[in-house]
Structure 1
Amino acid sequence: MKLTKVYCDLFGHNYKLTKKVTHHVKEYTCSCCKKQLTTSSTGKLTELTEKRQEINLALERIYNNRTVRLQQKLISSSIY
């Protein structure tokens, strides 16, 4: 058993924000054992599986496209 896992078992994980997918969905990684979590659809933290990573990537792409489109719409409407 790794020492970092023992540390996390005794004292708890030390999660750091590693990625903001949207305003509500974020990804976290434990700085000791590198365990990864993400925000679920209910707002709770859940393990970041490969499937959830794919979902987060798609969600991030949709969110970024929508944000850019809304900014362009705002700019074009303020010109006229």
Structure 2
Amino acid sequence: MALHRLGKDPESPVNNSPTVYYDDVTDNYVLQGWRITDAERLAQLDIPEHETVIEFPKRMMQFFPEVNRAAGPEQVR
């Protein structure tokens, strides 16, 4: 598996998070974000045991090639 970093949150100066990665084997995105631990928010979701949820800032959408046609997985930032 080869992960390619597409971009990190420009407003996060610490720990390079959140970050968007592209997996060229599965053709999927891997998202690094803030773990949701608030019980009230989690209670509103139906999360299977094998999944997790993260919070991801809207401003990070710019790193998805489908949103920003100028960028692509081959253009690792």
Give the alignment's TM-score, normalised by structure 1.
0.35
Q: Which structure: greater helix fraction?
A: 1
TM-score for both structures, normalised by structure 2: 0.36
